[in-house]
């Protein structure tokens, strides 16, 4: 790695960009299609250049630190990309994860209790630092 022979040529970059336009084909992979968060993950990588896509994938690698992994999880929850995770953001993810197994009322009760136990309220907005603190406890 790092030698001239491992550098991408302009042709390679254009070819990778061409393939990246077909990200939604990942949904044909059963393991990915069955993941309740697959649409959120696709939204996160849609439009990334190759460098950013590789950086995104590196968070799933064995050498990624816990804070790096938590940052990706934070971005999954922060669907409007405003840098904050609200009660409603959490409810949306919980809805994706639980489907029809829980009612909206059950989701709200569980999440409200969890937020209280972590020292937050329904009106709280979690920043990345808060999210790391909650996940490392």
> For residue range 52-82, what is the model confidence (pLDDT) as tens digits?
888 888 888 888 898 888 998 899 999 888 9
* 91 pLDDT above the threshold of 90: yes
Would you state the pLDDT for residue 136? 67
1-28 pLDDT tens trace: 444 455 667 776 676 666 655 566 666 7
30-59 pLDDT tens trace: 767 778 888 888 888 888 887 888 888 888
Would you state the pLDDT for residue 83? 94
CATH number, domain 65-137: 1.10.238.10
- Exposure string of 7-29, with b = 16+ CB inside 10 Å and e = fewer, is eeeeeeeeeeeeeeeebeeeeee
- For residue 104, what are the CA distances in angstroms to 16, 47, 96? 42, 32, 12
Chain center to CA of 108: 21
Would you state the pLDDT for residue 90? 93
- Going from N- to C-terminal start, the domains of the chain cover 9-58, 65-137
């Amino acid at each position: 790695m790092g030698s001239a022979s491992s550098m991408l040529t302009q042709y390679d970059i254009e070819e990778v960009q061409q393939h990246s336009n077909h990200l939604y084909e990942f949904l044909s992979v059963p393991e990915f299609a069955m993941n309740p968060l697959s649409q959120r993950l696709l939204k996160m990588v849609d439009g990334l250049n190759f460098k950013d896509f590789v950086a995104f994938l590196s968070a799933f690698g064995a050498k990624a630190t816990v804070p790096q992994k938590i940052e990706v999880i934070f971005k999954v929850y922060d669907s409007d990309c405003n840098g904050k995770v609200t009660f409603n953001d959490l409810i949306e993810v919980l809805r994706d994860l639980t489907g029809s197994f829980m009612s909206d009322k059950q989701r709200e009760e569980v999440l409200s209790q969890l937020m209280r136990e972590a020292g937050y309220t329904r009106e709280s907005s979690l920043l990345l630092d808060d999210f790391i603190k909650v996940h490392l406890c």
